Structure 1
């Protein structure tokens, strides 16, 4: 079980699913990935666990149904306040700046110039998700954007690193997409469809509430 406790600035280091039906989302993802959930900090937020180790978070939308459901990808920022200032200076819109996440660290939420929502995270202990690169755990995250060069320049200025980018499909908004390990992409997609997901492209799915995530195979059974 690969464990990771530190992240270079700009690296996707934390993910969470925030949406309109946390109970349904827990059931959906538990069935597909074997996740378990532990309440954290009240207000319905849960840490997502795989084999007892943290792989992300899940909770209700603070904005209610009008927000919908989405996965948020957080980038490591050892100097969170400076990263927030750089995001604003280079055309980003900061929605939440430097709020504490219990005793675990501090976070900010922002929208980049092309409309992709993202987070910045400064961990107080472990710097992000602890288990990576196995079935049911984060294996990476990509920014889907209509202008990869422009988007890459923004994140380099904010975090000091260019993200992995993919050109967004025509008619879709810019967005960050987390990617999870599975044993076999085709078999997983069949299971996900049966649970109410939509397959948007090979290895790219939307859950029953519209939150988009990716999968990559060759990681063994969860």
Structure 2
């Protein structure tokens, strides 16, 4: 897959894992996907890379969020100040920002009307994850919510007809899906089988199964695995 440096408004463009245990997160995901971590600033934020390409971020849980570990999904914005105003007008709640992220861009964190945390990102150079739609990289993002109608109305108001996957669920939150090699190739050093399609590797590394394709990592953050056509991002 070619390097990706631009995303249309509303497209999932960045993910990061915020956690109370940076060491534990590095051990789990580094072993599962072969990720490497480079410290980005003095606040403990790290860039996640695979084969030298950026695929996301890792950092300590911000004080504006409940303590714990979670994956955050960010949607692309070309004008973050306008997006922030629209979030409020459409019934969302802004909890942080916009704030600068060094020279890379600006971000904003909010809670949508369905209760899901969501981020918005205005890139200064590369607009998001550079490596996508490959094994070990971000391949898709879904919003799981008990209030899909409220969520759809909100995001349609923000971005029009940009295709976003919103699934009815008793669990509320955005979920990133990462690619795994075809089952015969396995994941990392844990291996896999045709039947589990990568689940065995995640479970062996300490993940807990939730439902088909979804897992909670040892710190409680929810993520998904896919070994489909690896072309799910817009």
The TM-score range, normalised by the shorter chain, is over 0.9
SS of residue paired to 1:186: coil
Equivalences for residues 160-179 of structure 1 within 5 A? 160=160, 161-168=162-169, 170=170, 172=171, 174-179=172-177
Provide the residue aligned with 1:14 in structure 2.
14
Question: 152-161 vs 184-193, which deviates more?
Answer: 184-193
Once structures 1 and 2 are overlaid, which stretch shifts more, 177-186 or 193-202?
A: 177-186
After TM superposition, the structure 1 stretch with the greater mean CA deviation from structure 2, 1-10 or 101-110, is 1-10
Q: How many residue pairs were aligned? A: 217
Inter-partner Cα distance in structure 2 for 1:114 and 1:142: 14
Aligned to 1:216: 226
Q: Give 1:194-209 correspondences, 5 Å limit.
A: 194-209=204-219
Aligned pairs for 1:131-150 (under 5 A) are: 131-150=131-150
Q: TM-score, normalised by structure 1?
A: 0.93
User: Does residue 1:28 correspond to 2:28, yes or no?
Assistant: yes
Task: Please list every run of 5 or more consecutive structure 1 residues that lacks an aligned counterpart in the other structure.
Answer: none
- Distance, in Å, in 2 between the alignment partners of 1:55 and 1:42 is 20
**Structure 1 CA distance, aligned partners of 2:18 and 2:11?**
21
Q: d(CA) in 2 for partners of 1:64 and 1:26?
A: 23
Q: Look up the match of 2:39.
A: 39
CA distance in 1, matches of 2:76, 2:159: 8
Q: CA deviation at 1:60?
A: 1.0
Q: Give 2:116's aligned residue.
A: 116
More off after superposition, 107-116 vs 210-219: 210-219
1:26-83 CA deviation, whole Å, 9 max, x = no partner?
1100111110011102211100001000000001112399511000000000011111
- Structure 2 residue runs of 5 or longer lacking an equivalent are 184-194
What's the Cα RMSD here?
Answer: 1.8
Within a 5 Å distance, the mapping from 1:47-86 to structure 2 comes to 47-63=47-63, 67-86=67-86
Q: Is the 8 A contact 1:5 1:128 kept in 2?
A: yes
- 8 A Cα contact 1:2 1:134, kept in partner: no
CA displacement at 1:145 relative to structure 2: 1.2
**8 Å contact 1:193–1:199 — kept in the other structure?**
yes
| Structure 1 residue ranges, 4+ long, deviating more than 6 angstroms after superposition | none
Which residue is 2:188 aligned to? none
Q: Deviations over 1:105-161 (max 9, x none)?
A: 000000001110010000000110000000000001000011223211101212333
* Alpha carbons 2:17, 2:59 under 8 Å: kept: yes
Asked if 2 retains the 8 angstrom alpha-carbon contact of 1:117 and 1:176, the reply is yes
